[in-house]
Amino acid sequence: MSGVVRVVLVDDQALMRAGFRALLDAEEGIEVVGEAADGEQGVALVRAQVPDVALVDVQMPVMSGIEATRRIAADPALAAVRVVILTNYGLDEYVFEALRAGAGGFLLKDTEPADLLQAIDVVVHGEALLSPSVTRTLIGEFVARPPDRSTAPGLDALTRREREVTALAARGLSNEEIAAHMVISPLTTKTHISRAMTKLGARDRAQLVVFAYESGLVAVRGTA
């Protein structure tokens, strides 16, 4: 990480917030700049602080984490804020909606400290944060239903290369791995990813992954 990463905590459980704060405040290069106990307070806090990362509980009173994420993602002034949804389960019915709303990924509340710190680093650098178990379940869900090309009007706008890098990103490959696979430079890979996100209106890599599956760009038959 370069500079200090500013984080806000949005969770209705005071003990949970205290635990995350203690861990993050002890880490050099990370600063917790505020806490909120519900989604409405969380949106107001994010607007006031404009942090790098917002850790947001999926289920809260007054306003859910999904609605809070949607409002944060819809605000142009908060375009640089990365939202990470906190959940008690590896995957639940809220995952798809939250990703579409603009979440950059998911974290289990009982995640290991080292994994939490790595997760913050991942989303700050614009990568999609989905644990292997969540990714497997996501793929399983997409296999169970047919592609909905009506949700992906920008598919035809992608070049062949942009489609290829999008598909590889959806399979969980990093920019370096995509570059090696396609025999291109990491910088060229990053450019293709960036252009694909712009054409599709994807806020971040997580939404690009969802698009790839929903549009049928990624063939998931036989994947478990």
- Compute the half-sphere exposure of residue 207: CA atoms within 13 Å on the CB side of its CA: 24
Average pLDDT, the chain: 79
Q: Is residue 25 pLDDT above 80, yes or no?
A: yes
Digit-coded pLDDT (tens) for 142-193: 545 554 555 555 677 888 898 888 888 877 777 888 889 988 998 898 889 8
Average pLDDT of span 116-135: 66
Q: Please enumerate, as own/partner, the contacts of 158-162 that have beta carbons within 8 Å and a separation of 24 or more.
A: 158/196, 158/199, 158/200, 161/192, 162/192, 162/195, 162/196, 162/199
pLDDT at 37 over 70: yes
Q: Highest mean pLDDT range out of 61-65, 148-152, 218-222?
A: 61-65
Q: Is 70 helix (H, G, I), strand (E, B) or coil?
A: helix
Q: What is the mean pLDDT of residues 8-12?
A: 94
Mean pLDDT of 72-97: 79
Q: What's the pLDDT at 126?
A: 64
- Output the pTM of the full model: 0.66
Q: What is the mean pLDDT of residues 50-76?
A: 90
Q: For the residues 27-32, what does the mean pLDDT come to?
A: 89
Task: Output the pLDDT for position 132.
Answer: 45
pLDDT higher than 70, residue 127: no
| Residue 85 pLDDT greater than 70, yes or no | yes
**Does 139 score more than 90 pLDDT?**
no
Q: Can you give the pLDDT at residue 202?
A: 76
Quick one: pLDDT at residue 143?
47
What's the pLDDT score for residue 72?
Answer: 93
Q: Say which residue, 151 or 20, is predicted with more confidence.
A: 20
Q: What is the pLDDT of residue 1?
A: 43
Return the pLDDT at 222: 43
DSSP 9-67: EE-S-HHHHHHHHHHHHTSTTEEEEEEESSHHHHHHHHHHH--SEEEEESS-SSS-HHH
